[in-house]
Amino acid sequence: MAVLIETSLGDLIVDLFVKERPNCCRNFLKLCKMKYYNLCQFHHIEQNYIAQTGDPTGTGRGGESFFTSIYGEQARFFEKEEVPKLRHTRQGVVSFVNNGNDMLGSQFYVTLGDDLDYLDDQHTIFGQVTEGLETLEKLNEQLCNEEHRPFRDIRISHTIVLDDPFEDPVQIKFPSRSPSPTLERLISANQIAIDENLNDMDGMTEEEIKKELEEREMRAQAQILEIVGDLRSAEDIPPENVLFVCKLNPVTTDEDLEIIFSRFGKIECCEIIRDRRTGASLQYAFIEFAEPKSVEAAYFKMDNVLIDDRRIHVDFSQSVSKNFKWSRMKQGSPERATKKPLERSQQPRKTEQHHRDERGSARERNNGREFSHRRRSRTPEREKRRERDRNGRDYEKRKERHVETGGGRWGDEKRIEVKREVSSSPERRHRDKRPRSPVHKKHRRESPVRNIKKEAASSDSEHEKRHSKKKRKERKRSSDSDKSPVRERRRR
C-alpha cells in the first residue's frame, strides 16, 4: 500500500501503515484517488522540522476529510487513532495535522529532521517516505519569510495510488485523470514560480556579468533621476555626437573653442553656457559634432589640454535637454510665414505665467499703470471707501467749521452724519414713508447697531457730566485757597 506524490521539486513515494492506522490510510488513499491534493501548496516549511501541505486554500485553515463526501458536513473531521503508539524518530515521517480536539482532516506534514519526539502524541503518524529523500533535502533548503511561508511556489502536481486495499464507495465517482489546473488558482499565489530562473547570470562569463551589473546600476540611477525630476524619462538617452567641456577660462569664447576642436571633424554647434543676467561664462560648454567618431577622437586627444592657461576636462555629454529643445523661428522668417496658425481647439491652454506676462505687457503699454481685463467686484466696503475718498474735502471742511463754532465732540457729529446718510438712502426713505401702527412701534425690536449708538451717546454724556463736576470742584478749591490768611497777608 503506497502512494506516489509528484511535486514541483521532485517525487515522493509514501508507504502507508494500513494495519496500525486503517482510518487514516483510508482517508489519505481516497483523497489521493479523488485528486484532492492536486495543486496544493507546501504553505509551511521550517528547516530541519516539517513541510506541511494538504490545504487547497493554502492558508493552513482549510481542508476536509474524505468522509465529508459520504456523510456530509458533520463528518468534515474524524477522530485520531492513538493505538499503537508511533514515534517521530527519523526524517520522512508522514503524519496528519491535529486540527484541535484530536480531530483530523486533510492536512498532513513530512518531517525534515530526526528525533522530533515532541510531536509524539499530538499528531497521528500514518506513513513513511521510502523514496525521494533528495526531494526532502530540497524542501529543507527553501528560503521562507517570517511566517515560514516559502518564497517559491512549491506544489503537489499529481498523486498516483499504487495499491489500495479499501473498496471504493458507490456514491462517489472518482475521476479517471487529473483535472486541468485553472488559471485563477495558479495566479492567486504571489510567490516565485517554480519554473522561474532565480539566478539570471548562470552560464555567463565574468565580463558579461560585470557589464550586466553596470547596466543595472545605470538603469537604477536613471529611475532615481526621474523620480527626483532631473530626467523627463528614465528611457532618455543622451546624444552620442555631443561633447562636454568644463574647467574653461572665463575669457575663452565660442569661436576659440570651435577653431580648436574643428580639426576632429565638422562642428554643428559650439556653445559656452553663460549666465542669463550678467552674460558671464559659467566655464563649461557643449560641442555638437556631425559624426560620433569625431567625439571619440576629441575625447582621447583633448582631455587635460591647456587652453588659455587652464587645463580643461573633456567627457561625453550626459545631458538630454537637446532631445527636447524647441525650434524657435525668428520673426519674419519664411518658415514662420508659411506655417499655418493652429485652430482654437488645438491651441495649448494658457498657464498662470502667460497671464502674468500679458498683464506685464499691458502695463508697459499703459505707461506703467496696471491694466486688468477683469472687472473688479463692488463690495459694500469698497463702495464706502470710494464715497469717503470722493467727499473727503467736504468732510474736512465740515470738521473745521464744527471746531470753529465750538460744537460738541466731533465723534457725535460723525455718528449723526452716518445716521443721516443711512436715512437719506432711497430704500430707507421708501421704508419711512410706509404707515406703521402704534403696536408695531411699541413692540419693535431695536437693532444691535442702534443699541451700540445709544450706549455710546450715554457714555459721552456721563463723561461730560463727570468732567464738568470735576471743574466745579477745582474752582471751589481755588476760591477757598484764595481766602487763606497767609495769602491775605501777602496781598496786604
Asked if 80 contacts 124 with a C-beta cutoff of 8 angstroms, the reply is yes
Would 487 be classed as within a structural domain?
A: no
The grid cell for 475 is 474752582
Helix/strand/coil for 430: helix
Same domain flag for 183 and 259: no
Q: How far apart are CA 64 and CA 86, in angstroms?
A: 24
Identify the sign of the CA torsion 207, 210, 215, 218.
negative
Report the run of H or E that residue 2 belongs to, with start and end: strand 2-7
Same domain flag for 22 and 150: yes
Q: Which pLDDT belongs to residue 416?
A: 46
Q: In this structure, what CATH number is given to the domain that contains residue 159?
A: 2.40.100.10
Asked if 330 contacts 297 with a C-beta cutoff of 8 angstroms, the reply is no
CA angle 43, 47, 51 (to 5 degrees): 35
Same domain flag for 154 and 259: no
Q: Which domain holds residue 84?
A: 2-187
Q: How far apart are CA 424 and CA 35, in angstroms?
A: 99
Helix/strand/coil for 87: coil
Same domain flag for 47 and 175: yes
Q: Tell me the backbone φ, ψ of residue 96, rounded to 5 degrees.
A: -80, 145
Would 199 be classed as within a structural domain?
A: no
Would 489 be classed as within a structural domain?
A: no
Q: Name the nearest CA neighbour of 261 among 296, 231, 236, 227.
A: 296
Q: In this structure, what CATH number is given to the domain that contains residue 288?
A: 3.30.70.330
Would 91 be classed as within a structural domain?
A: yes
Q: Which pLDDT belongs to residue 353?
A: 58
Among 281, 302, 324, identify where a domain stops.
Answer: 324
Q: Which pLDDT belongs to residue 324?
A: 67
pLDDT tens sequence for the chain (492 residues)? 799 999 999 999 999 999 999 999 999 999 999 999 998 999 999 999 999 999 998 888 989 999 999 898 899 999 999 889 999 999 999 999 999 889 999 999 999 999 999 999 899 999 999 999 999 999 999 999 999 999 998 999 999 999 899 999 888 888 888 877 777 766 666 777 766 776 777 778 889 989 989 988 988 988 898 888 877 888 888 889 999 999 999 999 999 999 999 999 999 999 999 998 898 999 999 999 999 999 999 999 999 999 999 999 999 988 877 776 544 444 444 444 444 555 555 555 555 555 566 655 555 555 544 444 444 556 777 777 777 666 665 666 666 666 666 555 555 444 444 444 444 444 444 444 455 544 444 445 555 545 555 565 565 566 666 667 667 777 766 655 555 554 555 555
Would 442 be classed as within a structural domain?
A: yes
Q: How far apart are CA 225 and CA 449, in angstroms?
A: 64
Q: What is the total count of domains within the chain?
A: 3
Same domain flag for 27 and 97: yes
